[in-house]
Amino acid sequence: MIAATTPGTRFDEQEGAEGHALNQRNSLRQVMLIRAEGGYWVAECPSLPGCTGQGMTRERAIDSVKESIAGYLADLEACGLPVPEERFDALIVAV
């Protein structure tokens, strides 16, 4: 597991509610990386259901999931819904 910083999408944020939304987008999120068939990597954010990404390299999979997370958070904000808190409660097992 890794922690990925999600990119903010707006640069003209103000203080208050919008500033809080930007802080949520720039927060750390836990991401699981899984080696898939065909040499692909799959990245998933457990605290944001449905936020996944994939790529031929680990780096591309991470970039892809960051894009998914940023879009998910922007959609929540647009709908006026709260952003789920990150929960770092994973068991990491070395194989």
The pLDDT of residue 87:
73
Where exactly are the structural domains of the chain?
Answer: 2-78
- pLDDT band at residue 81, thresholds of 50, 70 and 90? very high
- pLDDT band at residue 84, thresholds of 50, 70 and 90? confident
Do 72 and 50 contact (CB within 8 A), yes or no?
yes
What CATH code is assigned to 2-78?
3.30.160
Look up the pTM and report it: 0.67
Higher pLDDT, 87 or 66: 66
Sign of dihedral through CA atoms 71, 77, 83, 86? positive
